[in-house]
Structure 1
Amino acid sequence: MGFLNKLFGGSNTKGKRAPNQRAEFKDARFFEAMLKKKEHNIIADMETREMLEKEGKLTAYHNWMMAFDYLDKFQVEYSMGHSIEQCYEVFIKAAEWYAGGWEEDSTYADMLEMVAIGYLLEIPDENYEGIVRTVEQSDAGSDYPEWKPDGILWFIINGRKARRPQPDAVIWPSLYQSLLDLTKMNKADAEVAMKQYLENWYELHRNDPWYDTHKKELAYTGYWCWEAGAISKIMGLDDTSYKDSPYYPYDLVHWKP
């Protein structure tokens, strides 16, 4: 275990950071290994998908799996410091697969990531519409009894193109109610509230599977609150007071395609 920690940038290893590294934890060697792992996953899952397609056993889940692989790769590349232009191309592939990956048990977490990152990257309408359709499908027919039109998802979607009344509730109040509340504030109050939200964000997600992955082998892809970035951009907030938060994707918020 000690050897692996040394090789892959364990939590106590302070190796050389990747050039322009954005993520708080790990080092260049770790992220190079993670990138290879994600690229291997893409190849392996594509081979599985092609085999299942020949056997007539392909389902929407296999499209989602490809989308998840590319979303993971996007996050690794962003965390390790690749240019946003490079990351953009990876995310487009995630969006293309995601459009055909909806099932009744599709999850909120990756839906929120796709909606928020797609907004920040200003991806083409046809790609963003594919993401929006998955939200609409879940609103109409999710297997989760707690599912309802979600205020955070629709605030971001409507921020790009208004298309439906803004929901006043969120699916997961303990995680997102305070974020929805700040969307109703004036800018000055919202900026204070966003800073506070980001300070609490990591611990709010302590039950999520990615929590503390920087302490594990080849699991950490970075900790990013994409939705905070999207909402800051939509509201035109002055993010000076929280731009240095380790969870805030500052350069992506201010990137222009």
Structure 2
Amino acid sequence: MRDPLCSESYLLETIEFDKEEICERKKKIIVLKDDMEKGIQRYPKDNQSIIYATYRGMFMYNTEILIAKYSLGSHPDEMIEDYLNGIEYLENVGEEKVWYIDLLWMLSLGILLEVDKQDLKRLACVIEKQKKEDALMDFLLKACDIGWNHNTSEYERKNPYAKTAEIIQMALHDKDREKASKRLQQYIEKEWVKGHNDLDFKNAHKEPGYVGLWSFEAAALAKILGLDDSALKDNNHYPYDLAHYKNGMSFDLSWYGVPVEEEAKEEEAIVYGIPNKPELEQIIPAKFHSFVNEVIGDYNTLTDEEFWKKYNLREIWFDVKEYEEDNKAKNMLGTIIVFLLVEKEYILQLDYKEDLVDYIEDIDNYWGKEEVKLISFEVDNDQQYYAYVPKTAAIDSLYEVKLTEVEKIEEV
């Protein structure tokens, strides 16, 4: 057992259950493909779309198998076949959206397992098709020397992954691997779990279904950069054994240069104003005006399924039917905007068990020199949502979501 917080019996049961689920879905795909050849359509959704969604489900089960096996203490050799299966499933998800963290874990695992570079190229094609713009992924893919030419300074998920840039810069630009190694340790011990507060990583081990949580990307960075990770050997979120599983893969870092911020370019791209709901300009930073305006327009014009797909609401409503049921009264636009602005990292989401004071520094202030106040968004669930808005903001709701000023905790 590598993660003492896991239950060995539960891990074994989960692995077997997931294997059975994948097997059942393979049978389902065979039937669906046969139906397509015969021109049979049994479901409201077209057969091909169901096949894509089924492959995505298989990938999710497969990812859980990989994590559970590692937590259980399996030798990395036993994970390679499952890993390659995961790539196959990803190659067949079509237009289905795949969670960024799952793709990052897959990429990092490929590096740690030292799979063939042709297989990493296959994964790179999936990442490209998924249109993920992420500086950490770019670094990992370019380091693998497989012809990846994308380059961005943006992050799909800024917190905590933007902090990895400091580790990379210390190792390559400053040429101080000792300092970079200590920064890696800080990232794992102080920032990684906290950076996933919206997913409640901190308390995940207390909930049913826990199979372990591993920062595979941190181990991949340590491997690529040649960092000393000995201080993390017993950390139950750092996959030390995988970081030292093999040492035969070569990396190309000759291309590296300190990323240049794209703030000026971003400023030029901003489209000001929310004509669909102008009063929201009081609480929505200009950077997000165009996005929020588009969301409002789409909510009022697209079908539920079109909207659910476009904004990848699967992480909130796993099935479109769940979304349609909750949205019957067409009174969820404020809630959806909150969820989407959490993804954009304007709004901070905390689990109900968390204390705001522990995360206050993670709330970004997008209002420049304006005096701001902290507000909470009263969404109908067990989560907490916070953001800074101008002190002068005079609206008390975001559609159906009530806004409440929070007592000042500390200076912004």
What TM-score results when the alignment is normalised by the length of structure 1?
Answer: 0.81
Higher relative contact order (CA 8 A, sep 6+): 1
AA aligned to 1:216 is E
Correspondence for 2:196: 205
- Where is the strand percentage greater, Structure 1 or Structure 2? 2
Question: C-alpha distance in 2, partners of 1:254/1:189?
Answer: 20
Q: Shift of residue 226 of structure 1?
A: 0.5
Percent of aligned positions that are identical: 23
2:35 and 2:152 mapped to 1: Cα distance? 43
Partner residue in 1 for 2:58: 66
**CA-based RMSD:** 2.0
Match of 2:89 in 1: 97
Q: Give the corresponding residue for 1:5.
A: none
List runs of 5+ in structure 1 lacking aligned partners: 1-20, 140-146
Q: What residue is the counterpart of 1:106 in the other structure?
A: 98
Deviation at 1:92, TM superposition (A): 1.3
Confirm whether residue 34 of structure 1 aligns to residue 8 of structure 2: no
Cα separation, 1, equivalents of 2:148 and 2:11: 39
1:105 partner amino acid: K
| 1:178 CA displacement | 0.9
Larger CA deviation: 85-94 vs 30-39 = 30-39
Counterparts of 1:189 and 1:215, CA distance in 2: 34
Match 1:167 to one of 142, 149, 152: 152
Q: For 1:207 and 1:158, how far apart are their aligned partners in 2?
A: 30
- Native 8 Å contact 2:53 2:96 kept in 1: no
Equivalents in 1 of 2:156, 2:192: separation in Å? 17
Among 230, 237, 250, the residue aligned to 2:240: 250
For each residue in 1:132-185, what CA deviation from the matched residue of structure 2 results, as whole angstroms up to 9, or x when unmatched?
Answer: 01221233xxxxxxx6x2111111111211532643232222221111222111
Match of 2:2 among 19, 22, 26: 22
More helix by share: 1
Contact 2:163 2:187 in 1 (8 A): yes
SS of the equivalent of 1:205 reads helix
Residue 234 in structure 1 maps to residue 218 in structure 2 = no
Counterparts of 2:202 and 2:56, CA distance in 1: 22
Partner of 2:24: 44
Worse overlay, 125-134 or 226-235: 125-134
**TM-score (norm. length: structure 2):** 0.52
Paired amino acid for 1:153? M
In 2, Cα distance between the equivalents of 1:125 and 1:183? 22
Mapped to 2, the partners of 1:246 and 1:69 lie a distance apart of 22
Deviation at 1:126, TM superposition (A): 2.7
The Cα offsets for residues 61-99 of structure 1, whole Å up to 9 and x where unpaired, read as: 322222222221111111111111111121111112212
Rg larger in structure: 2
Who is 1:215 aligned against? 206
Distance 1:28 1:96, change over 3 A: same
Partner residue in 2 for 1:6: none
Q: CA deviation at 1:214?
A: 2.5
